Structure 1
Amino acid sequence: MSKSMTIRDVAKAAGVSPATVSRTFVHPEKVESVTRDRILALAKEMNYRPNAAARSLITGLTGNIGIVVPDLTNPFFPTIVRSVQRKAEQLGYSALLVDTGEDVQHEPELTENLARQVDGLVLCSPRMSDGKLIEISSRYPLVMINREIPEVPAVTIDNRSGIAQEVAHLKALGHHRIGYVAGPETSYSCLIRQQAASELLAEAGLEEVSIGRFEPTFDGGRSAAQQVLLSSVTAVMVYNDVMALGLINQLTQFGVNVPENLTVVGYDDIEFSSMSSPALSTVHVPRNDSGVLAMDYLDALLRHGANAPQVPARLPTQFIFRETSRRLGSPLVAQ
């Protein structure tokens, strides 16, 4: 078995003291750049890993970050979690994960319990109130994804632009009476998308029909199908892709052909959207980029505090035209 490298081995190879090696990993900004780069290169070559427990005692930091998601079974979130985790590893952190199960009441408690065990948090689409998020962010370093509060660091998505692209697409296809299937009121992105849809459909001279609020799941989408049938719309905008796929599944069982009888567009561009048949027209959300940026932002907060550089205000979205939308034919009328 090969000998494990120690801090003294790295120090000897680099021609510096063990204290300088320790400082390189604990306070790299205090080590001259040429020396720091030489030590880091040798440490990597020698497969040296600093002792996490010892570093924690010195710095008060754990070397861990926490990721909080509302529902890990929702295909929107695993890509974000993976990108945060990979970036965290590149930056020298380990990641701990908590799934709050869409439980708004217990989300603050679960978040704070995790915060006590880590150096900082990445909150993916948190459901708790603005006031609670501001309170938690005043005590723990954190970055939100897909939630916007002026006082709290965040990486946000340009949800309104995605809705605008959907509306323009449906108008170009000749649709005039358009339904909107909403998700839960506790979802920030749902409220933003729904509000944007109402405003932009009106501005375009199109009629909006509110189908109602449903769980942001495949079954939630299926449960919206009957209301869609009763609405006499020719196109439906759905809060997210998972719901849109569930809606199409149930409509198919009812004998409704998508897109021949009804156009359906989703939002998020999860992996299943392009794999389904018919492939789902949707809005692409840069989930991988949002995770990477959020982790970079959190790392900057941990290193520089209030002086951390800002990230772009909003990441762009892009409409993806696939097989579930087509030019208007005969309106769908419930039998």
Structure 2
Amino acid sequence: MPGGRVRKAPTIVEIARDLGVSSSTVSRAFTAPRLLKPETVERIRAAAAERGYIPNVHARALSTGVPRTIGLIVPDIANPFFPPMIRAAQRVAEQSGHTVLIADTDGDVEREKRIIERLAAQSESLIIASSRLPSTELVELTDRRRVLFINRDEPDTARILVSARDALCRGVDRLLALGHRRFAYVGGPAGSWSEGERHGAVVEALQGTRALLRSLRIPSGTYEDTMAAGEQILLSGPTAVIAFDDVIAHGVIDLLHRRGISVPEQISVVGCDDTLALTTQPPLASIALRAVDAARLAVQIVSEGQVSEMLAPRRIALQGELVERATVGAAPETHCPGREAPM
């Protein structure tokens, strides 16, 4: 620049020297802030901003040959459970200069395999939510790729579980205390870890009681198919219905309304995931799950450490919370809606 001096951007080494810390500490403040104390991160970033330092988000990609991206794979992007998770993952990834690539498998195993191979070539790490792959393939995958699973409890892998188990047990206990003795569990897609956990929790909570339980599944997990399954859901005359998720619970409430069965005066309904609770009529009692926390933690874990290293096996379970609302009430003394409400 004629007549003036060109001002060079400061380097990590210079910032580290000025602050009296190591270069690696300065680097971590931008790439892995979770490893440092919050006050250290704030001090380093403030000093860097004051000096005009801009982190080079491409440096790591140039040195490793892999762009700073994280692949996030979900089975159904239209399910209300996943958008908040995706949003949280993107925001946390931005803090370390990562971009999140999102793919939807539609719950199809073969499609999931293809997506994994494609995203693995473009990403440092993969986060796979509710994988439908067989166990043997999951273990083999973690030997070749830097992968973290959400809602798939596979031993010897890095996984975070958004668990509803404890809260569902409390929900069943609450329904028993209200006098309910005839239960229906309306499950979701086969092969889903969450489906296995939730159904198992209901069965476990009812063991040793005199309550009756009839279980069925809505394989597609859709509202429409739930509405169409009214006869099966009401076959045993339940006074309490526990649904795999809020989508199915919404379908249950609407089919009950269509048949003239009041909620919760005649049948109580409990959902799971707390994504549609305030849009149902009446507001749905549900299990609030920590999906957003799981996504944030997943991105933090895969963003740290060496890209060339596979993730160490670990198991983190984030427990949900029962949120009681207007769809739960005392059991009716005499009512058998499965017999009194014809199609």
Residue aligning to 2:285: 281
- Sort the Cα spacing of 1:169 and 1:42 in 2 relative to 1 into closer, same or farther, 3 A: same
1:103 deviation in Å? 1.3
Q: Is the 8 A contact 1:214 1:223 kept in 2?
A: no
The reply to whether residue 226 of structure 1 matches residue 237 of structure 2 is no
Residue aligning to 1:50: 56
1:175 deviation in Å? 0.4
1:134 deviation in Å? 1.2
More helix by share: 1
The reply to whether residue 97 of structure 1 matches residue 102 of structure 2 is yes
1:10 deviation in Å? 2.2
1:216 is aligned, of 216, 221, 226, to 221
Q: Is the 8 A contact 1:125 1:187 kept in 2?
A: yes
The reply to whether residue 294 of structure 1 matches residue 298 of structure 2 is yes
**Residues paired across the two proteins, number:** 321
The reply to whether residue 250 of structure 1 matches residue 263 of structure 2 is no
Aligned residue identity for 1:316: Q
1:326 is aligned, of 318, 329, 340, to 329
State how far apart, in whole Å, the 2-side matches of 1:116 and 1:188 are. Answer: 27
The reply to whether residue 168 of structure 1 matches residue 176 of structure 2 is no
1:217 deviation in Å? 2.1
1:157-196 pair list within 5 angstroms: 157-196=162-201
1:101 deviation in Å? 1.2
Residue aligning to 2:3: none
Q: Is the 8 A contact 1:14 1:42 kept in 2?
A: no
State how far apart, in whole Å, the 2-side matches of 1:28 and 1:255 are. Answer: 57
Residue aligning to 2:320: 317
Q: Is the 8 A contact 1:241 1:268 kept in 2?
A: yes
- Sort the Cα spacing of 1:94 and 1:43 in 2 relative to 1 into closer, same or farther, 3 A: farther
- Sort the Cα spacing of 1:7 and 1:228 in 2 relative to 1 into closer, same or farther, 3 A: farther
SS across alignment from 1:334 = helix
Q: Is the 8 A contact 1:181 1:224 kept in 2?
A: no
Give TM-score scaled by structure 1 length. Answer: 0.85
Aligned residue identity for 1:79: P
State how far apart, in whole Å, the 1-side matches of 2:65 and 2:148 are. Answer: 20
| Unmatched segments (≥5 aa) in structure 2 | 1-5
SS across alignment from 1:9 = coil
Can you list the C-alpha shifts for 1:219-259, whole angstroms capped at 9, x where unaligned?
A: 23222322122221111111111110012112212222211
1:147 deviation in Å? 1.4
1:165 deviation in Å? 1.2
Identity in percent: 32
The reply to whether residue 76 of structure 1 matches residue 75 of structure 2 is no
The two structures, once aligned, show a CA RMSD in angstroms of: 3.2
| Unmatched segments (≥5 aa) in structure 1 | 1-5
SS across alignment from 2:103 = strand
| Range 177-186 or range 157-166, more displaced | 157-166
Can you list the C-alpha shifts for 1:263-289, whole angstroms capped at 9, x where unaligned?
A: 11111111x212322010111111111
- Sort the Cα spacing of 1:8 and 1:63 in 2 relative to 1 into closer, same or farther, 3 A: farther
- Sort the Cα spacing of 1:154 and 1:106 in 2 relative to 1 into closer, same or farther, 3 A: same
State how far apart, in whole Å, the 2-side matches of 1:281 and 1:23 are. Answer: 46
- Sort the Cα spacing of 1:232 and 1:119 in 2 relative to 1 into closer, same or farther, 3 A: same
SS across alignment from 1:82 = helix
State how far apart, in whole Å, the 1-side matches of 2:64 and 2:90 are. Answer: 22
Aligned residue identity for 2:287: V
Aligned residue identity for 1:284: A
State how far apart, in whole Å, the 2-side matches of 1:309 and 1:90 are. Answer: 25
Q: Is the 8 A contact 1:121 1:141 kept in 2?
A: yes
- Sort the Cα spacing of 1:204 and 1:297 in 2 relative to 1 into closer, same or farther, 3 A: farther
Residue aligning to 1:205: 210
Aligned residue identity for 1:289: D
- Sort the Cα spacing of 1:152 and 1:310 in 2 relative to 1 into closer, same or farther, 3 A: closer
State how far apart, in whole Å, the 1-side matches of 2:177 and 2:69 are. Answer: 49
Q: Is the 8 A contact 2:242 2:270 kept in 1?
A: yes
2:245 is aligned, of 230, 240, 243, to 240
1:24 deviation in Å? 6.0
Q: Is the 8 A contact 2:164 2:321 kept in 1?
A: no
1:13 deviation in Å? 11
Q: Is the 8 A contact 2:169 2:202 kept in 1?
A: yes
Residue aligning to 1:269: 274
Give TM-score scaled by structure 2 length. Answer: 0.83
Q: Is the 8 A contact 1:297 1:310 kept in 2?
A: no
- Sort the Cα spacing of 1:28 and 1:122 in 2 relative to 1 into closer, same or farther, 3 A: closer
State how far apart, in whole Å, the 1-side matches of 2:165 and 2:41 are. Answer: 45
| Range 57-66 or range 259-268, more displaced | 57-66
SS across alignment from 1:98 = strand
State how far apart, in whole Å, the 1-side matches of 2:318 and 2:24 are. Answer: 38
| Range 85-94 or range 210-219, more displaced | 210-219
Can you list the C-alpha shifts for 1:279-334, whole angstroms capped at 9, x where unaligned?
A: 101111111111111112212354694686957x3112111110111001132243
